[in-house]
Amino acid sequence: MTRIADIASFLEGFAPPHLAADWDNVGLLLGDAAGKVERVMTCLTITGESAAEALADRAQLIVAHHPLPFRPLRRITTDSVEGRLLWELARGGVAIYSPHTAFDSAARGINQQLGELLELDELAPLAVGGDGLGTGRQGRPRAPATLGQLADRLKQKLQVSGVHLRGAPATPVTRVGIACGSAGDLLGAVQAAGCDCFVTGELRFHDLLALEAAGQTSVLLGHYASERCGVEALASELQRAFPALQVWASRKERDPLLWY
């Protein structure tokens, strides 16, 4: 019998909680660690759609990249979206585990995966931690590449119809910084590493102006597209580690933004 604690232990080894940002909320966030689990769903974010899918498909555990709850709650009632989701999942016996920024930075985490999709050599953290791991990734393209070529590679690998570019597509790229999600706080690390391109999910307008002033380029994938690949990979990792379980990445969740 597999318990929720067994999966939590595996995830803590795969994405060690000490790699998480200080402000984050990672680990087992809802449920009984001693509870039996046979069906696990991964997702990027717990929404009404993904929660309904987990309940309908009888999952006992959701491994959600984005934590629910994220901030401390004074009450859990159905008057708020967070409260309603937590109440419905608790009533349905569905636990929640979130690896979030620990998974971003892990040895086989999302930023590492994006670096490998881009075929970068010399992959290393943007900001190194004490154990040799750290936040983000940086590396050199294996073959000469332009901003447009990197963008096309990401579009194909991530199966997205569009990305935003900061810079001309023909601009040569010699070193790439990577940070999934929303990563404006890593601009300094990107510049300190000598990266002339920053691949991330989203940036604020003034962050883009700062990149432009420094002569740096950027590929903005969208928050969803920059992290959904990790959710799918994590489902595969869990299935390999626990072959007796049924594990799947949510089939219902979608990017809230569409290219038009």
pLDDT at position 128, please? 84
pLDDT digits (tens, 9 = 90+) for 219-244: 999 999 999 999 999 999 999 999 99
- What DSSP character marks residue 249? E
What integer is the mean pLDDT of 192-200? 96
**How many whole angstroms separate alpha carbon 254 and alpha carbon 103?**
20
What integer is the mean pLDDT of 140-161? 96
Mean pLDDT score of the chain: 96
Residue the block writes with tokens 């933004």: 257
Is the pLDDT assigned to residue 130 strictly greater than 70?
no
**Three state DSSP letters for 166-225:** ECCCCCEECCEEEEEEECHHHHHHHHHCCCCEEEEEECCHHHHHHHHHCCCEEEECCHHH
Task: Kindly tell me the sign of the dihedral angle through the C-alpha atoms of 225, 235, 83, 66.
Answer: negative
**How many whole angstroms separate alpha carbon 57 and alpha carbon 76?**
24
The region, left, alpha or beta by phi > 0 then psi within -120 to 50, assigned to residue 62 is beta
pTM for this structure?
0.94
Which H or E element spans position 137?
strand 137-141
pLDDT digits (tens, 9 = 90+) for 2-31: 999 999 999 999 999 999 999 999 999 999
Per-residue pLDDT band for 129 (boundaries 50, 70, 90) equals confident
